[in-house]
Structures are given as C-alpha cells and as structure tokens.
Structure 1
C-alpha cells in the first residue's frame, strides 16, 4: 500500500482537514451571514428613521418636496386667479363697450326720428299754410263766395206777408273760422325751423 502513496493516516488526516475546512467555511459563512444581517438591519433602521423623519417633517409642513409642491400649487392658484380676474375685467369692458354702443345707436335713432318728426310737422304746416293762402286767394278772386261782406244795410219796413226774423232759416255757410291769423302762423313756423336746427 505504500506504493500507491495513500495511507490510512493520510486518509484520516485529509478527512479531518476537509471537515475542519468545512466547519471553518460554515463558521465563516455564518459570520458573513450574521454581518450581512446586521448590515441589512442597520440599513432598514436607517431607512425607517429617515421615513419617520420625513413623516414628522410632513406633519410640521416643512418637508422639502411638500414645500416645493405646495409653492407650485399656490403659484398655479395665483395664476388662475389672475387669469380669472383678467377674463372678468375683459368681459366687463366688453359689456360696457356694447352698452355704450347700444346707447349711442339708440340716441342716434332717437335724434333721427325726432328730426324726421319735426320735418314732417313743418311740411304739414307749410302745406296747410299754402292751402289757407290758396283759399284766401280764391275768396278774393271769387266775389260770389258765401263769405258775407260787410256792407252798410238799410232797414226796410216790413211787409205784411214777410216772416219774422226769428222764423227765417239761417243760411248755412261753408266758411271756416280760423283761430290764428297769418302773422301768428308765420311766427310758429319760424320757431319750429329754429328748433329743428
């Protein structure tokens, strides 16, 4: 057996060494696992402490991300308020412009109709004046008109068969009685012309 180079002692020694190595590696592995477990536990504790600190900052309202987002929200709210105020101001000005334009249009329409009415009344009065003047001219030209002419009359004695004056029928005249004379009509026309200017 010595020729092969293997002896029972060497076999025993190598097995023992193998088991010792195995035991050492197992112990080393256990130590590594324990160290790794401690390391992971410390990381967990750090993260937990960090999260608890962030939660405390949120409760106090001083967390940096919270503060930044809050500022962003406040800025957006300010921008929206400004935009809403600008839009409200624009709409108010637009409504006031429309109101002013409508008011001006109504005023212009009123003035136009007022002027038309004055012109129509003046034209009617001028037409009436011409008609009256034409009637007067006709009356002067036609002495047969039923208009009584002031003449001196003589009273005659009454005849026996004549009816009394109360029994006579009154003659119906087609004569118009005007309340204004020509001078007053002219003055009214002049006054209307002055007002229309």
Structure 2
C-alpha cells in the first residue's frame, strides 16, 4: 500500500532534474517569504525604535519644560513676585492684623477688668476710710461729752 502511494509521486516527478528545479523554486519562494517577513520585522523594529525614540524625546521635552517652569517659579519666589507666594503672604498679613486686633481687644478687656478691680478696691478702701473717720469722730464726740 505504501508503494502505491509513493508511485504516483514517483510518476509525477519522473525526472530527478524536475525534482531539483521544484526544490529550487520552493527554496526561492520560502526565501522570498523569509525576505518579506524579515523586511516586515525590520520595518516593525524600525517603527518600534522610532516610536521609542519619539517617546524618549517627548519625555525629555516634558522634563525640560517642567524644569524650566520650576526654575521660573523659584526665580519669582526669590523676587517675591510669585502669585501663590503673594496670596499666601496677603493671607498671613490679614491673619496677623486680625490677631493684633483681637489682642488689642483682649488687652483692652483685661485692662478694663483691671480698672474695675482697682475701682472696687479703691471704693472699698474709701468706704472703710470713711467708716473709720466716722468711728473716730463719734469716739471724739463721745469723748468730748465725757470731758465736758
């Protein structure tokens, strides 16, 4: 059975030269395909390399832009012209002034309380002094009645 299967092939390729030419054709077609595939692979590799180069170039440009932006902000900060810095300083200044006002109010309040305490002490002292004088005068008056 195997011989019957081989025989049509042998009959079909009855000349060794034809067989060699078919092999050569097959080799050329395979080489052609390999060459095309190699070309496609090479072009894909070139595209990938090109894309990678573009990516690196874009990343480098982004880095340089960011670096330039940071340097510009640093310069503005040193000059005191950076907007964020000015806003922050204005806010701090407002907070400072508000705290001063509150401290002033607090100080006034504390001073007012101290004045009230002093007033109460002085009033008590005056009342006591008056009472003492009254007692002294009564004592003198009573004493003067006894002497007379």
TM-score (norm 2): 0.77
- Return 5+ residue gaps in structure 2 as ranges: 1-8, 13-24
- Cα deviation for residue 95 of structure 1 reads 1.3
- Choose the corresponding residue for 1:112, options 124, 131, 136: 131
Distance 1:101 1:56 in 2: 61
RMSD, aligned α-carbons:
1.9
- Tell me the equivalent position of 1:21: 40
Q: For residues 49-128 of structure 1, what are the structure 2 equivalents within 5 Å?
A: 49-128=68-147
Q: Deviations over 1:77-136 (max 9, x none)?
A: 11221122111111111111111111111111111111111112212222333xxxxxxx
SS in 2 for 1:62: coil
Distance 1:11 1:42 in 2: 45
- Cα deviation for residue 67 of structure 1 reads 1.0
- Cα deviation for residue 38 of structure 1 reads 1.6
**Is 1:31 aligned with 2:31?**
no
**More helix per residue:** 2
- The number of residue pairs the alignment matches comes to 126
Moved over 6 A (4+): none
TM-score (norm 1): 0.59
- Tell me the equivalent position of 1:183: none
- Cα deviation for residue 7 of structure 1 reads 2.0
Q: For residues 134-153 of structure 1, what are the structure 2 equivalents within 5 Å?
A: none
- Choose the corresponding residue for 1:46, options 35, 57, 65: 65
Q: Which has the larger radius of gyration?
A: 1
Distance 1:37 1:122 in 2: 113
SS in 2 for 1:7: helix
- Cα deviation for residue 23 of structure 1 reads 0.7
